[in-house]
Amino acid sequence: MSTHQEISSFIWNVCDDVLRGLFKQHEYGDVILPFVVLRRLDCVIEPKKDKVIELYKELKDEVDPTPIIKKQTGLKFFNHSNFDLQRLKGDPNGLKVNFPNYINGFSQNVFEILENFQLEKPVEKLLKNNKLYLLIDKFTEVDLHPNKVDNHTMGQIFEELLRKFSEMSNETSGEHYTPRDVVKLLVSLVFSGEEDNLSGEGIIRSIFDPCAGTGGMLTIGKEWIEKNVSNKVRVNLYGQELNPQTYSICKSDMLITGEDPDNIKLGSSLSMDQFEGRKFDYMITNPPFGVSWKSEKEFVDEESKNPMGRFSVGTPRSSDGSLLFLQHMISKMKDEGSRIGVVFNGSPLFTGDAGSGESEIRRWIIENDWLECIVSLPDQLFFNTGISTYIWVVTNKKKPHRKGKIQLIDGSSFYSTMKKSLGSKRKYISKPFREELIQLYRDNQESEFSKIFDNEFFGYTKVVIEQSEMENGEVVTKRDGSPKPDTSKRDYERVPLTDDIDDYFNREVKPHLPKSWMERSKDKVGYEINFTKYFYKYKPLRSLEEITSDLLKLEEESEGIFKEIVNE
């Protein structure tokens, strides 16, 4: 077994063989995922296992053996107990004592990871029903050493398992993972054109993901830099993850692959920012789509009152916190320049009228000239939802030719069809399509699939149009003699920022409502991006002759059927 499909299928079969009937389906992940991590850790430690045990026995009574064991074995983590999953099989009747002994034998950096899996209750249940030995026996059949299963493949295994587990528990779509084809496009958009910033001796750069999941975006980001620019640059990875399980997977993978696991933090990025005051060179994320932030509303609302807070320009409606994550990342942009790539659904483009939280956030981003590009993606790209999605590229270091402008790329038709669907995922962005989209971005030219607009093109002034209240055919006036507005006839006009408001009113409104006027004190500026409208392709209506011809053909074809029905 070496491919992620083979290993995922094997592990999935373990669920059927061992857990069925004992655990509910939505509980499978609580048992299986920690054992995948334990097996991978064991495989790394195994060649040095005896040396670790020997050193620990020799040193445990005198000093903290951890630094010496790490130095002499070259391991970044270890287990000093006499057991691993393979050795536990040697004493089936001793598992009740030996398994906790094994877990407690891990070095502190691993023990902290395992704590978040909360294995005690599942293991107790497995022991009580004589299934723990069987589970351990199954897992020792698969070799997860990094030499056999590299980090990329391991990430795919975790994501495949998480996809299946989340389908069983009906978790929110896109909660834990993003398909690799989407991640590769996102990463390419963020790092393309950054070659100068990523080259040279002694260069250190940082990548941050506030919704890190299992860490796939971070590792693919680093891989892209090493493959396309330079492996001499030092890339530090940072992430925060809300879900304890996926946090533990991410942290353990960082530990195994030589990254710093202490750079991965647990908790909500919105209400428990573990990187407060930190700035990053690159930020990439896929925040959960359409997920409520009501549970964090009190904290967010309080911070929004602080003029220096992350959410001071406005907050979106509590049913969708997507834009909060973008505000969070913008707060972490370096003065000398950072780049952000984020996957959104359609809502952040247009939800909210002028003056609303969403519109104010868009206005803030666009008027600061941070929005560089938006790419629309095909639908049916994600495992748990078929909705259309968009990649936003946001930066405070636009190149001169991009300043004051926003590029929109219609990538909705750039896909290949999958041979076999994975949940809701029926399409994927193959390498040729990805390269074509990146070229459109790099060219930054107008074409069938690429449009470039000035920032103000997306803005408008919402103007209140009043009409007089009438009584017996006469205009009702206020005390000062001015006409009294009839609120039942009040209307609004959205005047593009590119138009003069008075000219627009005289041209578009006055001819139809000669006694109307504008209440300019109530003007509100809003921003929205109506993506579909800009790429709309007119399809001429079919002629009456064509339609008639088709109907006649249908009639001819169905004539026999009608006769049969009548004869019956």
- Provide the residue-wise pLDDT of the chain in tens; the chain has 568 residues: 667 888 988 998 998 889 999 998 888 888 999 999 999 999 999 999 999 999 999 988 878 899 999 999 999 999 999 999 999 999 999 999 999 999 999 999 998 899 989 999 999 999 999 999 999 999 999 999 988 998 888 888 888 888 788 777 655 444 457 888 999 999 999 999 999 999 888 899 999 999 998 898 999 999 999 999 877 899 999 999 998 988 998 999 899 888 999 999 999 999 999 999 999 999 999 998 878 899 999 999 999 999 999 999 999 998 899 999 999 999 999 999 999 999 999 999 999 999 999 999 999 999 999 999 999 999 999 887 888 999 999 999 999 999 999 999 999 999 999 998 887 889 999 999 999 999 999 999 999 999 999 999 999 999 999 998 888 888 888 888 888 988 889 999 999 999 999 999 999 999 999 989 999 999 999 999 999 899 987 777 777 888 888 788 777 766 655 555 545 5
**Residue 279 token pair:** 């700035």
* pLDDT attached to residue 348: 94
Domain ranges (residues) in the chain: 4-149, 164-290+333-351+363-444, 458-532
- Write the CA distances from 277 to 150, 170, 328, 330, 528, integer angstroms: 34, 36, 11, 12, 30
Q: What is the CA radius of gyration of the chain?
A: 30
Query: Which bin fits 486, alpha (ψ -120 to 50), beta or left (φ > 0)?
Result: beta
**Calpha distance 322→46 (Å, rounded):** 43
Residue 295: phi and psi, rounded to 5, are: -65, -20
Cβ-based burial of 294 (10 A; exposed 0-12, middle 13-18, buried ≥19):
exposed
Q: What is the pLDDT of residue 383?
A: 81
Rounded CA-CA distance 242/270 in Å is: 10
Asked if residues 117 and 34 have their Cβ atoms less than 8 Å apart, the reply is yes
148 to each of 34, 81, 156, 177, 366, how far by Cα in Å?
20, 25, 14, 23, 47
Nearest to 378 by CA among 184, 181, 174, 163: 181
- CATH (one of 3.40.50.150, 3.40.50.300, 3.40.50.720, 3.30.530.50) for 164-290+333-351+363-444: 3.40.50.150
pLDDT at 173: 40
According to the model, what pLDDT value does residue 279 have?
Answer: 98
Q: Is 387 helix (H, G, I), strand (E, B) or coil?
A: coil
Return the beta strands (E) in 159-279 as ranges: 204-209, 234-241, 264-266
Task: Calculate the alpha carbon distances from 492 to 11, 326, 413 in Å.
Answer: 60, 30, 36
Tokens encoding 507: 């041209």
The C-alpha atoms of residue 222 and residue 49 are separated, in whole angstroms, by: 31
**Among all chains, which residue has been given the structure tokens 């107990």?**
81
pLDDT at residue 322 in the model: 93
433-444 burial: b if 16+ Cβ within 10 Å, else e:
bbeebbebbeeb
Q: Which two tokens stand for residue 291?
A: 């997920």
Q: What is the pLDDT at residue 560?
A: 58
Q: Where are the alpha helices (DSSP H) in 23-81?
A: 28-45, 49-59, 66-73
Helix %, strand %, coil % of the chain (to 5):
45, 15, 35
What does the alpha-carbon distance between residue 1 and residue 11 come to, in Å, rounded to a whole number?
11
Q: How far apart are CA 428 and CA 379, in angstroms?
A: 9
Q: How far apart are the first and last CA of the chain?
A: 62
> How many Cβ atoms sit within 10 Å of the Cβ of residue 389?
22
8 A C-beta contact, residue 476 and residue 470 = yes
- Which pLDDT score is estimated for 545? 81
